[in-house]
Amino acid sequence: MDDLDTLARTIWGEARNQGMDGMAAVANVITNRVDIDLHNDRKPDWWGEGFSEVCTKPWQFSCWNGNDPNRLRLLAVTASDPQFSDALVLAAAAISGKLRDRTNGATHYFAPKVVKPPAWTAGLRPTATIGDHVFYRSTT
């Protein structure tokens, strides 16, 4: 899979029920992880380098986890699915740098309706709430 396909599948897998704004916000988080250099050393960061590596980093985006019931659907979805078609458009905009960041620089998010606040949220203030997701920016 290339960056466009991997990013679109991640957007679809994480937020297909969140509308265009929610899907774009997930794309923003991924783009922010790709763009940030945490230690200003121009070396690969913990999240990985590039869209595909950031998206598929183990345990970062649950849709890629082997135990996620969505994973088989994620791997099989095609552009005939309207939400995946939208995800492809958003992914192309993100990769080209034309997708506006509606998360205020967020690098993380979670869905409070699905899980309790994860430990990583301790001491962080939300940067945005979009759809069912709450977004945060971590500096480490």
Which of the residue ranges 10-24, 88-102, 104-118 would you say has the lowest mean pLDDT?
104-118
- Using pLDDT thresholds of 50, 70 and 90, give the confidence band for residue 56: very high
Is residue 59 in a domain?
Answer: yes
The pLDDT tens digits of the residues spanning 79-96 come to 999 999 999 999 999 999
Q: What is the CATH number of the domain that holds 56?
A: 1.10.10
Task: Count the domains in the chain.
Answer: 1
Q: What is the pLDDT of residue 1?
A: 72
Q: Is the pLDDT confidence value at 41 over 80?
A: no
Of residues 36 and 92, more confidence is placed in 92
Q: What is the pLDDT of residue 42?
A: 65
Residues 6+ apart with CB under 8 A from 106: 25, 28, 29, 32, 127, 128, 135, 136, 137
Q: Is the pLDDT confidence value at 39 over 80?
A: no
The angle that helices 3-15 and 19-35 make with each other, rounded to 10 degrees, is: 130
Closest residue by Cα to residue 101 from 80, 76, 127: 127
Q: What is the pLDDT of residue 83?
A: 97
Which of the residue ranges 1-10, 17-26, 118-127 would you say has the lowest mean pLDDT?
118-127
Is residue 36 in a domain?
Answer: yes
Is residue 20 in a domain?
Answer: yes
What's the domain range around 85?
3-101
Q: What is the pLDDT of residue 68?
A: 92
| Block residue for tokens 């890629």 | 64
